[in-house]
A and B are shown apart, each in its own frame.
Chain A
Amino acid sequence: MEEVKVILRTADQTRKAEVTLAREKTGADVIQAAVDNWSLATDTDYALVNFSSGKSLAPTGLISADLVKDGDILEVQPVLVAGI
């Protein structure tokens, strides 16, 4: 099983960890693991961004080699819904 070692952090950088991810995981899997392990607010939705490349990772897309490389910083960002 192919893996990639990355830095995973929240957008406010209050949580940060070096993690190893299986390439078969999706963006949604990584987000869910961050929510569970870091006890992030469950009344918020999150998106995943590769901070190092400036590209986002789709929730349904795999953590493939063309999108994520060893040492990249992945950021879990809130999906903001308020506007009024």
Chain B
Amino acid sequence: MNRYLRQEMIDWFSQEEIARTRACVVGAGAVGNEVVKNLVLLGTGEIEIVDLDLVELHNLTRSVLFREADVGRSKAEVAATRAKELDPNVTISFRVGDFKQCMSPYRLQGFDCLIGCVDNFEARIYMNTIARIAGVNFINLGIDSRHALAECYPFGSNSTVACYECGLPPSAYDRMAQRYSCGHLKKIAYEERKIPTTIVTSSIVAALGTSMALRLGDRNSGEVASSRILVDTIRGQSTVTHSLAVGPGCPVCTRIPRDAVLIVGSRYQTSMLEFLADSLDEPLDSVLVILSEPIVASAVCAKCGREPFDGKLRLRAARDLDEAARFCSSCGDTSVDINYVEECSLAEFNRVFVNTAVPIQYAILLSKAAPVCISFED
């Protein structure tokens, strides 16, 4: 008996295409559980699950792949293990960690779709940006206690479509800023707002998201616009927005050229950059390097004038730091002034990282030649 018999009876359904699809699912919570379950039952070829959290008791009301005995274990690992039981034909892997630290644009190019099942703006913004650079379709899913929101950004078909940040309102940036103090330092005592959700909204949004990710029924439609479906799960009403607008001044679309060529470089040595520098017919001081994330340029105590922790804060990614970084290990005062670099010249970049691992995932090089995105790999 063929496992996929009932699906293959559908005239617009191609089991072969589904079996060739490689999906990356970020977030293995309520929505992630449902998405993974759907992908596996449909016979998706490869699935990678990324999550840094552990299973908690309250997750069990919305997570079909978790059991009470799993409390305290990694969500990504448990989800991968249980999903494998549903269909051993599907290749499933997992990564326990922050998506920002374990996924580069180059690695993402190995997937056909990126499905965001996360709970914050920052993760969505990062996923959106590297999906656009890598030319991989991005599916953004969100819920509350009543609504389900599924968005498709078909970067794999068209690099000129609207991206997630094109439609992000100013209030979202204000909300994100509340998580930080002194520039890019995370607040230690900041408590995330808990949004009530149920399995009803997560299962509906996961069904829509899976359909979008696998392009069920529309593989030949030539769809080229970003789109959104908002469902009121109580009234059963839905609003379909078939064309999301490109936002004037969008931080991603204005900062990252749509025609940037993606190349791979080692984060441990800058010979690639030197090679690039040699090929550019202009002074390296005039080539702009836009970093994917802010990096600490200097950290000096305003009181004693020394660099705390023997200067080890320098050249770390800002995402790794919180308010504790203002503590001076020399004098004990909380007076460390931290300066960040978000862009610099290629000459300066080469000088700074000559003997230091690059702590970010990618950088954009803007010169007179075609724009380049360097994906830093281990």
Using a CB–CB cutoff of 8 Å, the interface residues on chain A facing chain B are: 11-13, 27-28, 31, 43, 45-47, 49, 51, 54-61, 67, 75, 77-84
Contacts and interface: CB of A to CB of B under 8 A. Distances in A.
Nearest to A82: B195
Interface string B147-183: 1110000000000001000111111100100000000
Contacts of B90: none
Contacts of B167: 47, 56, 58-59
Contacts of A55: 241-245
Contact of B239 (A31, A46, A60, A75): A75
Q: Which of A55, A61, A75, A83 has most chain B Cβ within 10 Å?
A: A83
Contact of A82 (B119, B232, B243): B119
Interface in B230-250: 230, 232, 235, 237, 239-250
Contact of A83 (B116, B147, B170): B116
Contacts of A83: 27, 29-32, 116-119, 141-143, 202
A81 B243 contact: no
A24 to B, nearest CB: 14
Contacts of B27: 83-84
A77 B167 CA distance: 12
A31 B167 CA distance: 12
B221 interface: no
B169 A31 contact: yes
Nearest to B51: A84
A12 B232 contact: yes
Interface string B80-119: 0000000000000000000000000000000000001111
A80 B167 CA distance: 12
A27 B247 CA distance: 10
A79 B143 CA distance: 9
A61 B247 contact: yes
Given A45-B172, A82-B197, A84-B59, A59 B247 contact: yes
A13 B124 CA distance: 28
Closest 3 CB pairs of A and B: A84-B29, A80-B142, A58-B247
Q: Which of B117, B169, B232, B242 has most chain A Cβ within 10 Å?
A: B169
B199 to A, nearest CB: 12
B278 interface: no
B323 interface: no
